[in-house]
Amino acid sequence: MKERLQKIWKLQGGFDIMDNDNGFFMVKFDQAADKEKVITGGPWLIFDHCLVVTHWTPEFASPNAKVDRTVV
Tens place of pLDDT per residue across the chain (72 aa): 899 999 999 999 999 999 988 888 999 999 999 999 999 998 899 888 888 888 888 888 877 777 777 666
Q: Which are the contacts of 58, defined by CB distance < 8 A and separation ≥ 6?
A: none
Task: Give the type of residue at 8.
Answer: I
Secondary structure class of 19 (helix, strand, coil): strand
pTM: 0.80
* Burial (CB count within 10 angstroms: exposed 0-12, middle 13-18, buried 19+), residue 9: buried
pLDDT the model gives residue 72 = 67
For residue 43, cis peptide bond before it (omega within 30 degrees of 0): yes
Answer for the pair 18, 56: CB distance below 8 angstroms, yes or no. no
